[in-house]
């Protein structure tokens, strides 16, 4: 499961390779599960020992199959791709010819597949231009509190509720955490947008890639608000957390 900002702050090259290097801590980090590989340490794979950079590459291969599979398997709200487009890209990745792809599909023609290849190339060009535009825009941005905050990747429905500016977030948090962000929640808001902001803040008390029992979740939430059952329910409903069928295990949803 990709961990929030680490994944989304990565460069294109880092997303392709699946890991990033943290210079300050001198370690490699898997962008999907955040597993660490300390530079200078030795890691065993089978009967062979590898240095950190090689080890993190093998880790992605062994545990996540490939970055292509992981990325193409992401929800449409992140890829912008339909299921049919994903299927075609998988055929392209496998090296199938247009005729071979037609034989795998029900209907279509080689010319139709070629048209899809062309459209993907155009989409790639558009993406490059858009990334350049956004990079230039960010150069002009300083402490603009009208910027929108990032929403969690597990969001069950992305709509206007998630159009939250930095300024809005700060005001809501000041209203509901009167003793500061490390203090208790004074009340739970009724408005949807405010709920999202409060729940997002509460999620900072949980660690990614860690499995919690229901009792552990309750303990964390009760330290912030007496009605921990309501908080727990909304964390699941809004896609911040997930749980197994019998409710004995909880984890951050990505």
Q: Are 239 and 152 a contacting pair, CB within 8 Å?
A: yes
The pTM score is 0.58
Task: Please write the tens of the pLDDT for every residue from 106-117.
Answer: 778 999 999 999
Task: Please write the tens of the pLDDT for every residue from 169-221.
Answer: 888 899 999 998 889 999 999 888 889 889 989 988 998 878 999 999 999 99
E runs forming strands in 75-212: none
Distance CA 163, CA 151 (A): 9
Nearest to 18 by CA among 79, 66, 87: 66
Residues 6 or more apart whose Cβ sits within 8 Å of residue 148: 163, 164, 165, 166
Residue 167: CB atoms within 10 Å: 13
- The percentage of residues in the chain with a pLDDT greater than 70, rounded to a whole number, is 88
Distance CA 114, CA 22 (A): 41
> What are residue 242's DSSP bridge partners?
251
């Amino acid at each position: 499961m990709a961990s929030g900002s680490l994944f989304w702050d990565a460069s294109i090259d880092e997303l392709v390779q699946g890991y990033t290097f943290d210079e300050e801590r001198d370690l490699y980090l898997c962008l999907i599960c955040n597993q660490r590989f300390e530079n200078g340490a030795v890691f065993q794979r089978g009967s062979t020992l590898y240095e950190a950079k090689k080890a993190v590459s093998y880790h992605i291969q062994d545990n996540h199959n490939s970055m292509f599979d992981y990325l193409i398997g992401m929800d449409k709200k992140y890829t912008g791709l339909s299921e049919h487009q994903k299927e075609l890209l998988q055929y392209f990745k496998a090296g199938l010819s247009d005729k071979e792809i037609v034989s795998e599909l029900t209907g279509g023609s080689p010319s139709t597949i070629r048209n899809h290849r062309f459209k993907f190339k155009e989409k790639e060009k558009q993406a490059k231009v858009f990334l350049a535009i956004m990079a230039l825009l960010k150069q002009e941005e300083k402490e603009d509190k009208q910027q929108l905050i990032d929403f969690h990747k597990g969001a069950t429905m992305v709509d206007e509720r998630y159009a939250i500016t930095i300024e809005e977030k700060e005001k809501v948090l000041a209203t509901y955490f009167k003793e500061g962000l490390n203090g208790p929640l004074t009340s739970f808001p009724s408005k949807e947008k405010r709920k999202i902001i409060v729940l997002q803040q509460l999620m900072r008390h949980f660690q990614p890639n860690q499995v919690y029992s229901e009792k552990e979740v309750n303990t964390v939430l009760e330290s912030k608000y007496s009605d921990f059952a309501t908080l727990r329910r909304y964390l699941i409903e809004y896609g911040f957390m997930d749980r197994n069928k019998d409710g004995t295990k909880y984890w951050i949803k990505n």
